[in-house]
Amino acid sequence: MDTQALQTFITLAEYRNFTKAADALFIAQSTVTNRIAELEREIGKQLFDRNKRKVTLSREGEAFLFYARRILELQSAGIQEVNSLKKYTDTFRLGTTNTIYECYLFPVIREYMEANPGHAVKITIGHSNDLLQGIQDNLLDVAYSYLPFYHAGFACEVFATDDLALVTGCGNKAYEHGITKEELLHSNYLYCNFALQDVGMFVRELFPPHYQFGFEIDNSTKLIPYLIAFDGISFVPQSLAAPYIGEKKLRRIELVDFEAPKINCYRVARK
């Protein structure tokens, strides 16, 4: 399968416009059209629904997009692996969520690099689900994830356990004596989409189904400035909040009539 055609397919899926996709790839629009047509012939399915106003992925195109990206990722990883053999004796490929990296991993990685100076180190920051997919595809040697992965051929262990802390900026004088579940519903809650199974469900179930938050973000480390600036409140891992609490930029709010679960961080590797 032609990787140029796959890249063209992914770019067109992103821009939903033949002219914009051609400009992004620095090729003629006719080349985009021909590559997509050839790919559709090879697969035997129409990947895009086209009309005069827009281009959208077909049902088959939506399904194929995931695999197209994985094929190109595997190709890139293979090329890097082969080329690294010329300079390094081995390559260590580590994947981690941003929060686990910020809270725990720098000293671990530094220790590894000091003990293995002839090894190349490649760090991938991503979401737990993507990291677990990467280790299944052999793109990673170890993944630090908020989700466990119990499958044959893989070892999964708890790497660290953290508290889930409700915090706000120190300038916010509300809830200095704690907060109830009912008060939480009427607070300025800044929602972070934790992909953490039980923890994610815990936060979601504190609010009514289909509740619309005024602010949402999918990275807890990027949430902190908003908590400080807008007197919002939110749950974050205690280890992430601790430096800001020490600097008196954040403070922890005590829970009056409910408790928060612990957060487990997992280390996943091939056996």
Q: Tens digits of per-residue pLDDT, 73-124?
A: 888 777 776 765 566 778 889 999 988 998 899 998 999 999 998 888 999 9
| Whole-Å CA distances, 183 to 80, 179, 180, 228, 268 | 53, 6, 5, 20, 39
Number of neighbours of residue 116 by Cβ within 10 angstroms: 14
Mean pLDDT of the 9-15 span: 91
CATH class held by domain 84-159: alpha beta
Domain 3-82 grouped into CATH 3.30.70.890: no
Which CATH number applies to 160-263: 3.40.640.10, 3.40.440.10, 3.40.50.2300, 3.40.190.10?
3.40.190.10
| pTM of the predicted protein model | 0.64
Give the pLDDT band of residue 200 (cuts 50, 70, 90): confident
Q: Give, in order, the Cα–Cα distances in Å from 3 to each of 10, 39, 73.
A: 10, 10, 11
CATH fold match for the domains 3-82 and 84-159:
no
